Amino acid sequence: MSYAKVLCVGLVGVAGHVVEVEADLAPGLPALFISGLPDTALHEARDRVRAAVVNSGQRWPNRRITLNLLPATMPKFGSAFDLAIAVALLGGSGELPLLALDRVVVLGELGLDGTVRPVRGVLPMVAAAARAGLERVIVPADNAAEAAVVPGIRVRAVDTLHRLVEFVRDGTPLIEPPAPVPSDGPDGPDLADVAGQALGRRALEVAAAGGHHLALFGPPGAGKTMLAERLPSILPELDDEAALEVTALHSIAGLLPAGGQLLRRPPFQAPHHTATVASLVGGGSGLARPGAVSLAHRGVLFLDEAPEFGRGSLEALRQPLEHGRVLLARSRGGTEYPARTQLVLAANPCPCAKPAGDIYCECSPLARRRYLGRLSGPLLDRIDVQVTLPPLRAAELMEATMAEEPSAAVATRVAAARRAGAERWAGTGCRVNAEVPGPRLRRPPWRLPERDTRELRGRLDSGSLSARGFDRIIRMAWTVADLDGRDRPHSDDVREAIQLRTGDAA
């Protein structure tokens, strides 16, 4: 026997595809060739695999070896193919009968000493194997908990190539995955901790209910960051499909917490303003790492001190926010990751970040305008809710001895409002009000009667409001109505929406 085949899984974006690793051994000068669109990490596999095989006490076949990864048209990234390559090679050389690996997916990177190392993206790989109807998978021991999250497939783990060889040869049992950890870890921060800030709390609730992007302006200490961090706590939990997708992205980034569990809470990402473009949108060699905008998929992306982000960074985020996905250019075709995230940005009113009216602030009006102007074009245009938070006064802090409403209570209203919106837009492809195109809201049956939009039209005519701003306010008015349990917005809802857009108390 000089031919053998072992199953593995390759990732294209978050989607896994079953890959056949074929090994063919022919007489001739000893050599090893790999074909089937491998990347450099995979080319280096030949050195890792050779050392691992020899150091595991196996004989290296001194023949002309050809490895082929099928389907050949699919680009392959990373080192998860090592283990499958090693056993295919030993199978092909006649050293190892591979009956025990029939229809079994084998994943893992090899160390030179024959240890099996964890790989990124195990969860979407195992999910792909299950979807392809395969029933058994062997993964690195350090990835076992994560792999065991996927339903409908039997997971076993290995820590060394030697252990896998013993299993294949003699049926020596493999490592069982640990029992899954039931919860999502400790609860995140709660709105009950936020003193005062009625306007900020309402803005957060409206943003959550309608899926609107949110901008919080105000002096340091006004509670912008505290509010932003609590947005996930009032958003609905992720459903099965979303949870699997979000967990897969974190798996590919190598950021899943140990223990193995589906991420059920909407993720929160807060990249620093010095973060590189690659860490914001994704990149890196081999299997591309998702950036913050994808790790915040179905959750919240928070840009604190947003004007401090470089123009290039803000520009790079524009496309993903608009399309809900990121396309990363690779040498052999692009990699696409989802990036449907809710943006929250916070900004101080001026570059020196002293409290408003502070006698030490010497920023000129021009400097202030310029500072916030950095946000205009690329991002601010797509943000519905924009409020300026007042500095927190002592009175508010004192009143805070009274209990503030906790996140759970707000989350109940948000969930009800989201249900109302989802029912209204069912069949249109929109799930939340923020996704509804302006023209649809301006046409019957959704057009609001003139008496409710009089003030808004006045602002449009006088030029103090753009057409786009008009649509955004109407959209928020629907969310306000949904939150208050009305089936259509009336003039009070429009007035509150104006306030949430312009900061004016109309």
Interface residues with Zn ion (CB under 5 A)? 350, 352, 361, 363
Query: Alpha-carbon distance 247 to 14, whole Å?
Result: 10
Query: Alpha-carbon distance 380 to 46, whole Å?
Result: 50
Between 144 and 350, name the residue whose CB sits nearer to Zn ion.
350
- Residue for token pair 């508010």: 396
The answer to whether the peptide bond before residue 445 is cis (omega within 30 degrees of 0) is yes
Shortest gap between Cβ of 361 and Zn ion (angstroms)? 3
- Give ∠ CA 342-346-349 in degrees, rounded to 5: 150
C-alpha separations of 226 from 24, 266, 398, 399 in Å:
60, 17, 18, 18
Q: Which two tokens stand for residue 334?
A: 């692009």
Between 136 and 354, name the residue whose CB sits nearer to Zn ion.
354
Between 368 and 442, name the residue whose CB sits nearer to Zn ion.
368
Q: Is 21 left (phi over 0), alpha (psi -120 to 50) or beta?
A: beta
Question: For the CA atoms of 184, 187, 189, 193, what is the dihedral angle to 10 degrees?
Answer: 170
Beta bridge partners of 113: none
**Which amino acid is located at 222 in the chain?**
A
Q: Where are the alpha helices (DSSP H) in 331-466?
A: 365-373, 394-399, 407-424, 438-442, 450-461
Shortest gap between Cβ of 320 and Zn ion (angstroms)? 32
Between 390 and 438, name the residue whose CB sits nearer to Zn ion.
390
Shortest gap between Cβ of 347 and Zn ion (angstroms)? 12
Q: Which two tokens stand for residue 247?
A: 């967990």
Between 190 and 308, name the residue whose CB sits nearer to Zn ion.
308
Query: Alpha-carbon distance 136 to 150, whole Å?
Result: 12
Between 270 and 361, name the residue whose CB sits nearer to Zn ion.
361
Between 70 and 363, name the residue whose CB sits nearer to Zn ion.
363
- Give ∠ CA 179-181-186 in degrees, rounded to 5: 165
- Give ∠ CA 85-90-94 in degrees, rounded to 5: 145
Instruction: Show Cβ contacts of residue 373 under 8 Å, excluding neighbours closer than 6 positions.
Output: none
Shortest gap between Cβ of 365 and Zn ion (angstroms)? 11
What single DSSP character describes residue 398? Answer: H
**Which amino acid is located at 399 in the chain?**
E
Shortest gap between Cβ of 219 and Zn ion (angstroms)? 10
C-alpha separations of 425 from 382, 421, 441 in Å:
20, 6, 11
Between 166 and 308, name the residue whose CB sits nearer to Zn ion.
308
Please state at what angle helix 491-502 crosses helix 467-483, rounded to 10 degrees: 120
Shortest gap between Cβ of 356 and Zn ion (angstroms)? 9
Query: Alpha-carbon distance 201 to 444, whole Å?
Result: 32
Between 173 and 365, name the residue whose CB sits nearer to Zn ion.
365
Between 88 and 350, name the residue whose CB sits nearer to Zn ion.
350
Shortest gap between Cβ of 363 and Zn ion (angstroms)? 3
Between 264 and 370, name the residue whose CB sits nearer to Zn ion.
370
Between 372 and 411, name the residue whose CB sits nearer to Zn ion.
372
Q: Where are the alpha helices (DSSP H) in 93-218?
A: 122-131, 144-147, 161-170, 198-210
The answer to whether the peptide bond before residue 266 is cis (omega within 30 degrees of 0) is no
Shortest gap between Cβ of 372 and Zn ion (angstroms)? 12
Shortest gap between Cβ of 393 and Zn ion (angstroms)? 20
CB 256 within 8 A of CB 247: yes
Shortest gap between Cβ of 370 and Zn ion (angstroms)? 12
Query: Alpha-carbon distance 141 to 210, whole Å?
Result: 43
Shortest gap between Cβ of 305 and Zn ion (angstroms)? 13
Shortest gap between Cβ of 150 and Zn ion (angstroms)? 53
Q: Which sign does the torsion angle of CA 446, 449, 450, 453 carry?
A: negative
Shortest gap between Cβ of 303 and Zn ion (angstroms)? 20
Q: Are strands 282-283 and 335-338 parallel, antiparallel or unpaired?
A: unpaired
Phi, psi for 60 (deg, rounded to 5)? -80, 125
Between 175 and 361, name the residue whose CB sits nearer to Zn ion.
361
